[in-house]
Structure 1
Amino acid sequence: MDMDSGSLVFSFFLIFTGAAVVSTLILYTRQPLIVGYIVLGAILGPYGMEMVSDTKLLNDISHAGIIFLLFLLGLDMQPAHLIHMLRKTAIVGVMSSLVFASVGYICALTFGFSQLESLIIGATMTFSSTIIGIKLLPTTVLHHKHTGELLISLLLLQDLLAILLLLLLQNGNNISEGYSTLLMPLGILPLLVIGSFLSVKFIILPLMARFDRYHEYLFLLTIGWCLGMAELAQAIGLSAEIGAFIAGISMATSPISQYIAINLKPLRDFFLILFFFSTGASFDLSLLDDVFMPMLALSAICLLLKPPVFRYFLRKVSEKRSTGWEVGARLGQNSEFSILIASVASSHAIIDSIASHTIQATAILTLLISSYIVVFTYESPIAISDKLRRD
């Protein structure tokens, strides 16, 4: 059934009712819900049962999920605390990223990918899943403890690197025309950040204080601010994701930031379900034979290499061996950002469909296996053992 105006409601029915059924099965087997959404997309999408055959509109709608994800990520970042934590983990984050990127690059070259495709595949190997990392982190036990702070600061550093890579890919087609077209948006970026903070201080927060009794107004103003900054960033040559992230972090110091974050999470989750469904629906199952071996190799590298590498570098900055292993295990997967980067790079014709599907398949497989490792080994909200189950 096509995604025209007449079928949009029916398509939503298929997606969300199907997601409810699949999520029930996923939770019984202690899997991350993300995997369920992706599998559902593959089943119902154009390469499966063809019940949702035109995913263009769905992709456009689901893009809002990533915008809200980055807005809320920025909203949770206190700038001062972010700078303090990043100083502690910067060496670990940068050095580990260089190791993962180098090994991923060499592996991709071995399987015959081009230099540029290998560079991008290698880059995606540096990222771990923010959603999985946070979802499997028991907030009452670890979030305010040292292990939780290390984990979150490393994820934030990776997210910043991912956002930078997305910025480069958004302008990838301009590189051949000269670096000035790429450097211009980067030059505008500091002005956008300063303007964002000033707008929040002198316009957004005074309006919120004046009309704080009207909760729906706060909701609308927040969404307008987020999407407005996303559109502004895109208009000046950056990306909508960058604009949303800046919009969030500029509001992070406001006393109302946590109220906004709590109220926007259901909206974010709604769009993220659509994003991961469209990821599965866009996965061409006929290419599975072509990507199977590189996917296995990259997944093995990710799962086997990340824990000891993180342990090694954390030991170098005087962290305990057990802390290093746990942080490494919790970060021992690929990221939803890798899926997004693959999609953006493919849409800009920077990489071909084989490379894009290799990145996506690696992310899906490592998300699945890594969640098993964490659930069976460390404390988490969905641990099978009562001894390890912590909320």
Structure 2
Amino acid sequence: MDHDIVFSFFLVFSGATIFATLALFTRQPLLIAYIALGALVGPFGIGWIEHPESLSDMAHIGIIFLLFLLGLDMQPAALAAVLRKATLVALVSSLVFFASGYGLTQSFGYSQMDSLAVGLAMMFSSTIIGLKLLPTTVLHHKHIGELMIGLLLIQDMLAIVSLILLGVMSGESKMPVWQPFVALPVLAVGCYLMVKGVLLPLIARFDRYQEYLFILAIGWCLAVAEGAKVVGLTHEIGAFIAGVTLATSPIAQFIAISLKPLRDFFLVMFFFALGASFNIGLLSDVIVPAAILAAIVLVIKPVTFRLLLARFSERRALAWDVGFRLGQISEFSLLIAFVALQSNLLSEQGSSLIQATAIITFAISSYIVVFNYPNPIAVKDELRRD
């Protein structure tokens, strides 16, 4: 049945209140509650929300704000230093993950294109799961936070190239593969000059008007995010660049605190939309390969990151911490499945395999982190860090 947007918001947030309460009483991660709610009331469940795509589009804004806030707390010099270390680790690990996904999918008799898409989907880890479950103080002021951001940014660039290649293979994209790598430094320099020449003088003149600063921050974030999309990057990378270039402002922390509730609002919608978009009816067709693929992800990603980071003199405990926090597939994996399916490069069964693997790894990796590592939603008091 069709309902207006107010009813959809009512279902998302009133339902999330009930499910989150049950999750807290039963000591479960809140993210799982939001996904379960979406699966229950979505088109493949009760059907109270038939078209979750509109909510999914809005939920994407939460990821954009998340990357913007991360950029606000990272100085350009620190970013350059961590990227030098993260690049080789990200490239080598991505090759390992691609080979694992491709080989397993082939062994189950999937087509070459399905196997290729699954291999690409395996390469990436979730920005939301990885960073949302890091305590704020660790994320912004400790080496692990910088290292994870570096790894995820390199993965984002690889995801962009993967999406371009899929577009070229389908005949729908005319963008050359090299374009994002040229666009990235050009966009960064342009944003730096814009901040120095326009934004910082405006902030200095009107810093007593908090409402103006709030609107200025949102406008800057979304403007650069959209600009990044136009030149062949992603909204997320654009938002991160917007944050990094504004990080030198004296009000960067004020902006970060102001936008945090807005970010959380949209992230709840993201996990709801993820649950609502999964076709439960196809689960029986892919449950065995999805379970095995998810098990491989949950094992091979922590081990791979542990071994690679150890070669760069990272402490053993930190390397395992990073590995488990990045031990799932990504939102980009879901986007690859969607683009490949729309371009007739991926079968519906292959798309369902990627979606099922994503949900399984999102859920189990969240459990692993929530019950074993410091995080903002830990069920144990000694692990809870905001």
Give 1:103 deviation, angstroms.
Answer: 0.9
Q: How does 1:340-359 map to 2 (within 5 A)?
A: 340-359=335-354
In 2 relative to 1, CA 379–71 (structure 1 residues): closer, same or farther, beyond 3 Å? closer
- Verify the 8 A CA contact 1:310 1:325 in the aligned structure 2: yes
Residues 8-27 of structure 1: pairs in structure 2 closer than 5 A: 8-27=5-24
**1:359-374 → structure 2 map (5 Å cutoff):** 359-374=354-369
Task: Please tell me whether residue 182 in structure 1 is matched to residue 176 in structure 2.
Answer: yes
The answer to whether structure 1 residue 314 and structure 2 residue 309 are counterparts is yes
5 Å-filtered alignment, 1:67-216, equals: 67-138=64-135, 149-150=143-144, 152-166=146-160, 168-169=162-163, 172-174=166-168, 181-183=175-177, 185-186=179-180, 187-216=182-211
Contact 1:86 1:154 in 2 (8 A): no
In the alignment, the residues of structure 1 paired with residue 381 and residue 60 of structure 2 have an alpha-carbon distance, to the nearest angstrom, of 38
In structure 2, the partner of 1:38 is 35
Over 6 Å off, 4+ runs: none
Matches within 5 A, 1:222-261: 222-261=217-256
Work out whether residues 30 and 372 of structure 1, in 8 Å CA contact, stay in contact via their aligned partners in 2. no
CA distance in 2, matches of 1:101, 1:204: 42
Q: 1:196 to 1:353 in 2, by over 3 A?
A: farther
Tell me: CA distance 1:117–1:85, structure 2 relative to 1, closer, same or farther (3 Å). same
Q: Partners in 2 of 1:379 and 1:241 — Cα distance?
A: 25
Q: Give yes or no for contact 2:144–2:318 (8 Å, CA) kept in 1.
A: no
* Residue number among 333, 342, 352 corresponding to 1:338 in the alignment: 333
Scaled by the length of structure 2, the TM-score of the pair is 0.87
Distance 1:343 1:30, change over 3 A: farther
CA offsets 1:311-352 (integer angstroms, 9 cap, x no match): 222332334444433333333233344334434444454433
Gaps of 5+ in 1: none
Q: Are 2:269 and 1:274 equivalent residues in the alignment?
A: yes
Residue of structure 2 equivalent to 1:60: 57
3-state secondary structure, aligned to 1:181: coil
State how far apart, in whole Å, the 2-side matches of 1:306 and 1:351 are: 24
Does the CA contact (< 8 Å) of 1:78 and 1:253 recur in 2?
Answer: yes
CA distance in 2, matches of 1:225, 1:276: 26
Q: Structure 2: any 5+ residue segments left out of the alignment?
A: none
Which stretch of the first structure deviates more once superposed, 20-29 or 65-74? Answer: 65-74
Give the superposition deviation at 1:10. 1.3
Offset of residue 226 of structure 1:
1.9
Q: Distance in 2 between matches of 1:341 and 1:114?
A: 16
Q: Identify if the C-alpha distance between structure 1 residues 237 and 385 changes in structure 2 by more than 3 Å, giving closer, same or farther.
A: closer
**Alpha-carbon distance in 2 for matches of 1:31, 1:341:** 29
Structure 2 residue 63 is the aligned partner of structure 1 residue 49: no
For normalisation by structure 1, the TM-score amounts to 0.86
2:294 aligned residue (280, 293, 299): 299
Q: How many residues align?
A: 385
The structure-2 alpha-carbon separation of the partners of 1:377 and 1:176, relative to structure 1 and needing over 3 Å to count, comes to closer
Compared CA separation, residues 376 and 217, structure 1 to 2 (3 A): closer
* Residues 152, 347 of structure 1: alpha-carbon distance in 2 compared, 3 angstrom cutoff: farther
Q: Kindly state the Cα deviation for residue 122 of structure 1 after the two structures are TM-superposed.
A: 2.0
